[in-house]
Amino acid sequence: MIRKATVMKVYKDKYDDYKQRHDKLWPEMAEMLKAHGVHHYSIFLLEETGQLFAYLLLEDEASFAKVAKTEICQKWWAYMAPLMETNDDLSPVSHDLREVFYLA
């Protein structure tokens, strides 16, 4: 498994909306992620800044790269766009983090 971590940003007045939408994650979104080899996906919020830390396990990067091209992912991005910083294609502005320590 590949450990992947990214950071994103949610608008400070949208924290509750962001959490509620993830609490009711569309079943087809969860199914698509699992079908593309995504496991143990967690997102954490730093409330002082709105920074989101996402951590997930992947079977492989190639399968994960295909997630962005799915219709359901495109719909999810449009649904979440009013709540967070996004790129022109409505994908979240995200930055991959480099692992510097791991204790198994």
Model pLDDT for residues 45-61, shown as the tens digit of each residue: 999 999 999 999 999 99
Per-residue tokens: 38: 């995504």
* 88 three-class SS: coil
Domain that holds residue 79: 2-96
pLDDT at 76: 98
Other C-beta atoms closer than 10 Å to the C-beta of 9 total: 17
102 domain-assigned:
no
Under the banding of pLDDT at 50, 70 and 90, the label for residue 15 is: very high
Residues annotated as part of the active site: 22
pLDDT, position 33: 98
Q: Report the CATH number at residue 74.
A: 3.30.70.100
When divided into structural domains, the chain yields a total of 1
pLDDT at residue 36, rounded to an integer: 98
Tell me, yes or no, whether 88 lies in a domain: yes
**C-alpha span between 30 and 3 (Å, rounded):** 18
pTM above 0.95, yes or no: no
Decide if 34 is inside a domain.
yes
Q: At 79, is the pLDDT very low, low, confident or very high (cuts 50, 70, 90)? A: very high
